[in-house]
C-alpha cells in the first residue's frame, strides 16, 4: 500500500505549509498554514477575498486544498456546484499542527469545526490566545482537540503518529514521524540548532536515522535559510549580553520590540531588566501570552512577577473601558500610562509594538533613547513598514540596535542534519532555494504545488 503526499503550500516559498498525507483510507494534513502574503499573486491588503466566500476565492486560485471534507457543510454544497468533480469529497481524519505560527495554522478559521486537530499543549494555548485577542476567529472552544504527549505514539486511522519535540523560536514546536505500513513520513516543520534546545533537534534527526532501519523514510525538511549562504546567528545568551550592553548605554528610556510568541526573547529582556535595575513594561497582549506560556516555564513565571503592564490610549483617548478589549480592561486601574513612563524614563524598559509607535508622541522621549529591534514587526528592510520605523527612529533621535537571530537553521546545519538522517527520499520544502540540497541525498524530489507524489 503506497503513501500519497500532496503539497498545497510551502512549495518554492517560505510559509503556507499544508501537506495532505493519504494512506489506506486515512487522510491527514501536516499543518494548515496561510501563505505569508495570503495568496499575494491575486490578493493584497487592498484586494481581499470576498468575506462571505473566502473559501471559494482561495480555491479558485489554488491557495486551499480542494477537499470538501475540510470545509463547513453550509458551504460544501455550493463548493461542489462551483468546482464539481475537481473537489474531493473525502473525509479528513485530522490536522497535525506543529506549532503556533501563522504560516502553519493561519487558514484554520476556514476549516470546519468538526475536523479533529492534534497539537502540543503549548500550541493549544497559542491558538486560544489568538481567539481571546480577536486576531483570529479560530473557535477553539468548539473544536475537537487532542493534545499530544511528547514521544508517545498515537494511532490516527491507519497511521501511527510519533510527535517529537524540536526547537524553534516558539514553545511547543513538534515534528512528526508518521508511520504508514512500511513507509515513514517524517515532517520536521521548523527547527534550528542555535536555540535553547539543540539537543532536541539532534535527537529528532537521530530518530530519523533509526527509523530507516525498519522503514522507507521520506524526509520533509524545512529549508527557510537555504540559499542564504550566511551562517551568522546569535544564541539567546549572546543576545542577552548585547542587549545588556545596549541598555547600559541608555541615559533614559529603553524601548524593545520582540515577537509576541517568542518567550525566549521575552525572558532575555526580563533578565536584562533585572540585571540593570529596570522594570520591564509589557503591553496587555504580551502579558496575556506570557501568562499562558508561564504554565510551561517556571523561570518565565518568576520573571513576569516583576513586570508591569502599559496601556496605550485607544478610542476616546480617555482610558475608558469601552475603548479596550476584555482582556485589556483588567489593567485600566493598575497599568502604567504615557505620563508615568515620561516622568521616570530611566526606570523602565518598554515593549512597544510597531502599531503603537504613536505613543512616542505622548511619551516624547529624550534624544538617544535606546530602541532594540529584536524580532518584532517589521521583520526586515524588505518590509515597507521598516522605512516607516526608521523615520520614527530618526525623528526622535533614538539610538537604534537590531539584536536578533534567525528562528531557522542555517544552510550548513540543514545539510549536516539531513546527511546524518540519511533518508531514503528527501523532500525540501518551506524554501525559496530547495535546489541547495540537490546532490546530498540520492533521491531528492523537486516539488510542484498541488501535485501528488506516491511513495
Tell me: the pLDDT tens digits for 385-431? 899 999 999 999 999 999 999 999 999 999 999 999 999 999 999 99
pLDDT for the residue 40: 56
Are 401 and 374 in contact by the 8 Å Cβ rule? The answer is no
> What is the model's pLDDT at position 14?
92
Judge contact between 335 and 310, C-beta under 8 A.
yes
Answer whether 349's CB lies under 8 Å from 269's CB: yes
Residue closest to 32 by CA, chosen among 133, 128, 100, 125: 100
Q: Which residues of the chain have pLDDT under 50?
A: none
Give the residue among 163, 113, 164 at the shortest CA–CA distance from 140: 113
Per-residue model confidence as pLDDT tens digits over 296-306: 999 999 999 99
Strands in 26-30's sheet, in edge-to-edge order, are 145-147, 117-119, 94-96, 26-30, 19-23, 4-7, 452-454
Please tell me what DSSP assigns to residue 292. Answer: H
Burial of residue 446 (number of CB atoms within 10 Å: 0-12, 13-18, 19+): exposed
Interacting residues of 295 by C-beta distance below 8 A, sequence separation 6+: 125, 301
> Counting Cβ atoms within 10 Å, is residue 313 exposed (0-12), middle (13-18) or buried (19+)?
middle
Q: Note the pLDDT of residue 37.
A: 56
pLDDT of residue 230: 74
What radius of gyration, in Å, describes the C-alpha atoms of the chain?
A: 23
Per-residue pLDDT, 81:
80
Amino acid at each position: 500500500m503506497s503513501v500519497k503526499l500532496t503539497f498545497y503550500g510551502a512549495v518554492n516559498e517560505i510559509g503556507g505549509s499544508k501537506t495532505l498525507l493519504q494512506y489506506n483510507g486515512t487522510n491527514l494534513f501536516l499543518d494548515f498554514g496561510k501563505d505569508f502574503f495570503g495568496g499575494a499573486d491575486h490578493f493584497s491588503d487592498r484586494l481581499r477575498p470576498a468575506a462571505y466566500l473566502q473559501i471559494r476565492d482561495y480555491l479558485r486560485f489554488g491557495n486551499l486544498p480542494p477537499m470538501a471534507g475540510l470545509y463547513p457543510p453550509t458551504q460544501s454544497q455550493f463548493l461542489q456546484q462551483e468546482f464539481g468533480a475537481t473537489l474531493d469529497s473525502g473525509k479528513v481524519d485530522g490536522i497535525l499542527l506543529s506549532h503556533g505560527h501563522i504560516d502553519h495554522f493561519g487558514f484554520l478559521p476556514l476549516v470546519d469545526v468538526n475536523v479533529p486537530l492534534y497539537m502540543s499543549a503549548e500550541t493549544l494555548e497559542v491558538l486560544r490566545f489568538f481567539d481571546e485577542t480577536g486576531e483570529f476567529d479560530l473557535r477553539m472552544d468548539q473544536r475537537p482537540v487532542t493534545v499530544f504527549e511528547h514521544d508517545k505514539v498515537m494511532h490516527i486511522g491507519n497511521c501511527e503518529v510519533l510527535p517529537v519535540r524540536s526547537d524553534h523560536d516558539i514553545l511547543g514546536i513538534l515534528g512528526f514521524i508518521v508511520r504508514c505500513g512500511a513507509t515513514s513520513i517524517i515532517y520536521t516543520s521548523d527547527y534550528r540548532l542555535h536555540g535553547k534546545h539543540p539537543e532536541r533537534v539532534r535527537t529528532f534527526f537521530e530518530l530519523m536515522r533509526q527509523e530507516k532501519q525498519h522503514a522507507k523514510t521520506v524526509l520533509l525538511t524545512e529549508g527557510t535559510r537555504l540559499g542564504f549562504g550566511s551562517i551568522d546567528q546569535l544564541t539567546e545568551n549572546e543576545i542577552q549580553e548585547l542587549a545588556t550592553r545596549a541598555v547600559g548605554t541608555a541615559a533614559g528610556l529603553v524601548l524593545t520590540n520582540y515577537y509576541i510568541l517568542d518567550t525566549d526573547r521575552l525572558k532575555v529582556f526580563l533578565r536584562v531588566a533585572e540585571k540593570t535595575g529596570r522594570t520591564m513594561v509589557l503591553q496587555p497582549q504580551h502579558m496575556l501570552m506570557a501568562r499562558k506560556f508561564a504554565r510551561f516555564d517556571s523561570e518565565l513565571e518568576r520573571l513576569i512577577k516583576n513586570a508591569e503592564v502599559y496601556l496605550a490610549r485607544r478610542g476616546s483617548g480617555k482610558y475608558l473601558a469601552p475603548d479596550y478589549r476584555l482582556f485589556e480592561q483588567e489593567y485600566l486601574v493598575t497599568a502604567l500610562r504615557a505620563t508615568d513612563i515620561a516622568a521616570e524614563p530611566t526606570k523602565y524598559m518598554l515593549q512597544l509594538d510597531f502599531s503603537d509607535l504613536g505613543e512616542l508622541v505622548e511619551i516624547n522621549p529624550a534624544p538617544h533613547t535606546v530602541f532594540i529591534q529584536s524580532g518584532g514587526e517589521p521583520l526586515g528592510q524588505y518590509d515597507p513598514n521598516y522605512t516607516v520605523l526608521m523615520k520614527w527612529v530618526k525623528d526622535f533621535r533614538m539610538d537604534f540596535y537590531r539584536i536578533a537571530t534567525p528562528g531557522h537553521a542555517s544552510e550548513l546545519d540543514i545539510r549536516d542534519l539531513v546527511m546524518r538522517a540519511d533518508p531514503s527520499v528527501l523532500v525540501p520544502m518551506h524554501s525559496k532555494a530547495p535546489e541547495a540540497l540537490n546532490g546530498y541525498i540520492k533521491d531528492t524530489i523537486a516539488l510542484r504545488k498541488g501535485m501528488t507524489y506516491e511513495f
